[in-house]
Structure 1
Amino acid sequence: MYMMILDVPSITHNELVRRGFDSDYVKSTMPMFMRRGLVRQLAEGVWEAIPPNIALPAFAARLEEYASTIRSSTPALTRTYSRREGPKPDPSGYERLNSLDEIALATQRLLSSAGRNVHGLRNGSPYTRYLLGLPTDFHATALRNDQGEQVVGRVTLDTELLNDPGINEVLAARASTGEEHRFAASLPFSALVSERMAVIDIDGPGGVAMGLVIESSYAAAAVRRVAESAWRAASPWQVGSNRPPTVDARDHRILQLLAAGATDSTIARQLNISQRTVERRVRAVMDRLGADTRFQAGVLAGKAGLI
């Protein structure tokens, strides 16, 4: 109907009915079009379209503002939902999670009860992929507990995530909230852990999201030690870093990726250069450092303060 209105200088209720639209549908739809700023009323039962180059951007801006408001309200509303009947931990201290929604709710419950810091592991699990697909303003929103205090994350990510086309934008947004990141190869699972609770998520059979809530303080502490150990062994990472110590910017990025365990194809995609160029530069860097293997090159570069 909107396309039909755009096609004529003005249109009446009767004309829309003659063109096949139900009278009650016209009566309910035209007020909605007016509220959205798409048409204006010229007289009773007569309307004209507002130019789309004016109406549609304005309408889209209102929708974006509305969506942003909803997203920013989600953590508080989720906390309210989670508290509606009080916490009901499984008597054993463990609870299986069977969907993305259940993992998301458990994660929010963990953040609500967390102190000022959490540790995380992120491999290519379904929930991680879900997070990477969320809008940038979601990632740029600081995490807060139910006291309103900011919760800062220290997260180790699997190098396979460097292949995600949006990873740099996501990490830049999350870093703006104070979250820290490092990379390591072959992380076995994804997890978020606080002082008393852990949420683990994995890639289940057939790619189905599965997870586990741990509310046993001893078991949660064990998961935290795993996350802290992974962090210590991982390579620091700065998105878009162009720090030039004693190697040029490109070789510095190559060294970062080497230390994180990235493959030549991953490095090529990250730096937007050919794989052959990567292979040549990796060999040059290894020769310069006196390294026999790629891993040794990363270690030597770290000791030399090059990454």
Structure 2
Amino acid sequence: MLDVLVPDSDHGRVYRALTVLARSDHRRLAEHTGLPEPTVERVLADLAERDLALRTGACWEAAPPDRVLSMALAEEEDRRARLWRAGAELDRLHHQAKAAAGPFRTVAPVEHPETLLRLTARLQERAREQVRWLDRPPYYSAPADFRAQEHTQTRRMAEGLRYRTVYGQAVYGDPELFAAMTRMAARGEQVRVLAELPVKLTLGDEDVALLVPEPDRAGLEGALLIHASPLLRALSAVFETLWTLGMPVTEVAGEHDLREQDRAILTLMAAGATDDAIARRLDLSRRTVVRRVTALLDRLGATTRFQAGVQAAKRGLL
């Protein structure tokens, strides 16, 4: 598809001639392009097969250029996605081979900011379940890098990857960053905010992380690539703790008219009661309690009962 947009290629020369001459036969196109007639006929047949040219009798017409551009961009995007998937699979196999061959470094320094950007993109392409961020200032990326990240994240979320991000409260003071956060939340990113975050951190599933330990003092210098290890598990636990403490950006609608039964269930959950204990205490069936607990977890944006208790307390529901 892209060769049609290259002026010096055979396809590009014939398609450009079609757009200039409007309806034309292959002989006139050969004269205009300087290509042999058999070459023009072959190119026209190829363009017709790709719906880029339409034949009417002995004459040919070009498909609208905006349609050609849209098709070319879609083809290029598909090619890039396939390359990313292939690269991610090769990267996974590479790490498996290194692990099978013997011990390798758990933590590796990231020498350059460009390398950190490349590793961040690769982490997202390799992830199968979720990507988690601790996102705080200062920011060092160029506007083009932010646009590329937003494009990648939008595509991966559309493919079913889950994104959870905890922002520092400074996000509210940056109009562009706040607008980007709002856009991504509308597209499916789960967002929470805390007053302060200690580090910049990106986690991909449970097998890799990127850590910027001193963003204020050293910028991106000292960034680390961390593979599956006790350290990675500890960083994952830190994220989940901060996620529990974070305030969801969008409040849950109607949360202040919580039913008394649900309030009682939340209170018992926060106290550590099991489903069976809650059922006995409130004279409910266990099935009803399980159903209500699941609904409350969803309503509060929590993944654990402890998180639900914390969120309920922060919102004044207990």
TM-score bracket, normalised by the shorter chain, equals 0.5 to 0.7
Partner of 1:30: 44
Q: Among 130, 155, 158, which residue is 1:140 paired with?
A: 158
Point out where structure 1 has 5 or more consecutive residues left out of the alignment.
Answer: 144-151, 247-298
Q: Is the 8 A contact 1:199 1:213 kept in 2?
A: yes
* Cα separation, 2, equivalents of 1:192 and 1:235: 20
Q: Root-mean-square deviation (CA), in Å?
A: 4.7
Q: Which residue of 2 aligns with 1:262?
A: none
Q: What CA distance in whole angstroms lies between the structure 1 residues aligned with 2:107 and 2:224?
A: 7
How far, CA to CA, are the matches of 2:193 and 2:26 in structure 1? 62
Q: What's the counterpart of residue 48 of structure 1?
A: 60
Contact 1:182–1:231 (8 Å) recurs in 2? yes
Query: Percent identity among equivalent residues?
Result: 17
Residue among 231, 236, 241 paired with 1:229: 241
1:220 corresponds in structure 2 to 232
Max Rg structure: 2
1:192 and 2:203 matched: yes
Are the equivalent residues in 1 in contact too, given 2:130–2:204 (CA < 8 A)?
no
Distance, in Å, in 2 between the alignment partners of 1:192 and 1:129 is 20
In 1: Cα distance, 2:80 partner to 2:16 partner: 30
Q: Partner of 1:49: helix, strand, or coil?
A: strand
1:167 aligns with 2:181: yes
* 1:10 aligned counterpart, secondary structure: coil
* Structure 2 counterpart SS, 1:121: strand
Q: 1:227 Cα deviation (Å)?
A: 1.7
Aligned length: 231
Which of 59, 70, 86 is equivalent to 1:60? 70
1:129-171 per-residue CA deviation (whole Å, 9 max, x = no partner) reads: 642233734322223xxxxxxxx55431334277344433322
2:292 match: none
Structure 1 letter corresponding to 2:182: N
Decide whether the 8 Å contact of 2:132 with 2:204 is kept in 1: yes
Please show how residues 1-307 of structure 1 align to structure 2 within 5 Å: 1=13, 2-19=15-32, 21-23=33-35, 26=40, 29-41=43-55, 47-50=59-62, 52=64, 57=67, 60=70, 64=74, 67=77, 71=81, 74-75=84-85, 78-84=88-94, 86-88=96-98, 91-97=104-110, 98=112, 99=115, 100-109=117-126, 111=127, 119-123=132-136, 124=139, 126=141, 130-134=148-152, 136-143=154-161, 154-159=164-169, 160=171, 163-164=176-177, 165-175=179-189, 180-187=190-197, 188-192=199-203, 194-195=205-206, 197-200=208-211, 211-215=223-227, 217-238=229-250, 243=253, 302-304=314-316
8 Å contact kept, 1:197–1:216:
yes
Structure 2: runs of 5+ lacking an equivalent: 1-12, 257-310
Higher relative contact order (CA 8 A, sep 6+): 1
Residue 23 of structure 2 aligns to which amino acid in structure 1? S
TM (norm. structure 1) is 0.54
Q: Is the partner of 2:96 in helix, strand or coil?
A: coil
Specify the alignment match of 2:271 in structure 1.
Answer: none
Q: Does structure 1 conserve the Cα–Cα contact (< 8 Å) formed by 2:226 and 2:232?
A: yes
* Contact 2:134 2:166 (8 Å CA) reproduced: yes
CA distance 1:119–1:103, shift in 2 (3 Å): closer
Query: Is the CA contact (8 Å cut-off) linking 1:193 and 1:223 kept in structure 2?
Result: no
- Quote the Cα distance in structure 2 between the aligned partners of 1:125 and 1:74: 24
Q: Distance in 2 between matches of 1:200 and 1:87?
A: 24
The secondary structure found in structure 2 opposite 1:157 is strand
- Following the alignment from structure 1 to structure 2, what is the Cα–Cα distance between the partners of residues 42 and 104? 47
| In 1, Cα distance between equivalents of 2:85 and 2:222 | 22
Q: How far is the alpha carbon of 1:210 from its aligned partner?
A: 8.1
2: CA distance between counterparts of 1:182 and 1:227? 12
Partner of 1:134, secondary structure, is helix
